[in-house]
Amino acid sequence: MTVEIICVGTEILMGNIVNTNAAFLAEGCANLGLNCYYQTVVGDNEKRLTETLELAMSRSELILVSGGLGPTEDDLTKETAAKVCGLELREDPESRRVIEEFFKKRGKEPTKNNWKQALIPEGAKAISNPNGTAPGVLIELKNRSRDRSKNAHSGGNMTTRIILMPGPPNELIPMFQSSVAPYLQELSGQTFFSKMVKIVGIGESRAETMIGDLIDAQDNPTIATYAKTGEVHIRVTASGATQKEAKKICKPVVKEIKSRFGTYVYATDEKKTLEQALVEMLLKEKMTVACAESCTGGLLSARIINVPGVSDAYKTGFITYSNKAKRKLLGVKKTTLAKYGAVSARTAEEMVRGLAAVTKADVTLSVTGIAGPDGGSEEKPVGLVYIGCLVRGQLRVKEYRFSGSRQKIRESAVTEALVLARECILELFSQDEFGQQDDDAQD
């Protein structure tokens, strides 16, 4: 079933608010195996909303619409949808009762405008809204020919479904979850199963080259890559008659991708972050981590500490932005700072060794670099960062050259510090333990 999403609202169109409804509905459709091909945002304008609805009806079987169901004159989604479908509006007794109750409970009188919310296109179904006065609307148009020939992807007489939902997320989300999703689940014949293979240490184009043959040959499952800061995510999605079948189709491709990338893979669970994978490693081995940060200024610790339940692994951290702080708190030598500078492999090493001495943490990380925009030189340009990692006496110091804004350089440094910590811990233990996790264990 082909789906599209239409969000109605001038606030979205003017950029006053971010369209989180579209993302929520899109994810909901993806989870139900529905192919959503378009999202459109249009203002509270009858002409443009009519055109948008007509276009959607010419190319999609299901149209999810949010917004414009309020009581004001600006709100005209329901009126416009009814007109486009050639349906009259009729009062829905149950919706009227809900509005009456809503106002009675608050000791207020409804205005004339409020009764507008009880109107429903004839033949349509009202969808209850426990969090507001605007009911949702389900319109099923049977045997309707999609006659805008140019855009029609199917010439036949098929059912077109339009579902109108209120715009406020605290009304839309529960309505979708409790009423709309179960209805769609029943409609959709197929089910889908999807895995996300998450990789660090390899760029997107190299990653794609490494699985180019799989990408070229893709059919079911499909394969898509996504580049994130310092990471590549590969989504493998299979469809089948049952969850079990879809999962079975997905599995060998995920296994093949994992075997090609080896220990570069840190997770096959969509929701698992890099820092979470690192914290799980630490907790499993009962290890602790500590960070001493200069240019990242707390960002590395903050990312590790964003993992719930991190308290057994993370105890202490230092932000040593000044040279004096590096000397006083971590014991970096004055001569080292004078001879090599604060941004040097030697300073990163002394920071990480000093940190280990002070905190007794099993894994210590240090970051020192030039985040810019000023402070760079030809020899030490903006973007030069040294990251030190000491895991139970084993030292690694790496030099990096990042580009972009101050914020971007610092974020890249944080990701690479997490990657380095993971690499160093992996070196201590066998690869099998972490790199090649069993697929089923993470479902």
Three-class SS of residue 348?
helix
Spatial distance between the Cα atoms of 26 and 35, rounded to a whole number of angstroms: 9
Q: Residue 29 — φ and ψ, nearest 5°? A: -65, -45
Query: What is the closest distance, in whole angstroms, from the C-beta atom of residue 421 to a copy of itself in the complex?
Result: 15
Q: How far apart are CA 423 and CA 104, in angstroms?
A: 63
Nearest distance from residue 142's CB to a copy of itself, in Å? Answer: 26
Cα–Cα nearest to 37, from 5, 82, 64: 5
Nearer to a copy of itself, 85 or 367 (CB): 367
DSSP per position, 202-219 = S-HHHHHHHTHHHHHT-S
Helix (H, G, I), strand (E, B) or coil at 83: helix
CA-nearest of 57, 36, 26, 32 to 189 is 32
> Least separation, in Å, of the C-beta of 247 and a copy of itself?
19
- Min dist. Cβ of residue 27 to a copy of itself (A): 3
Instruction: Give the nearer residue to a copy of itself in terms of CB position, either 201 or 434.
Output: 201
Whole-angstrom Cα distance, residue 64 to residue 181? 11
The nearer residue to a copy of itself, 16 or 143, going by C-beta atoms, is 16
Residue found under tokens 């010419």:
58
Q: Coil, strand, or helix at residue 90?
A: strand
Q: With respect to a copy of itself, which residue has the nearer C-beta, 248 or 324?
A: 324
For a copy of itself, which is the closer residue by CB, 49 or 85? 49
**Residue closer to a copy of itself (CB basis): 306 or 442:** 306
Least distance CB 181 / a copy of itself (angstroms): 13
Q: How far is the CB of 315 from a copy of itself (least distance, A)?
A: 4
* Structure tokens given for 13: 């169109």
Compare residues 22 and 332 and give the one whose CB is closer to a copy of itself. Answer: 22
**What do you get for the CA distance between the two ends of the chain, in Å?**
26
Least distance in angstroms from the C-beta of 183 to a copy of itself? 19
Q: Pairing mode, if any, of strands 125-127 and 2-8? A: unpaired
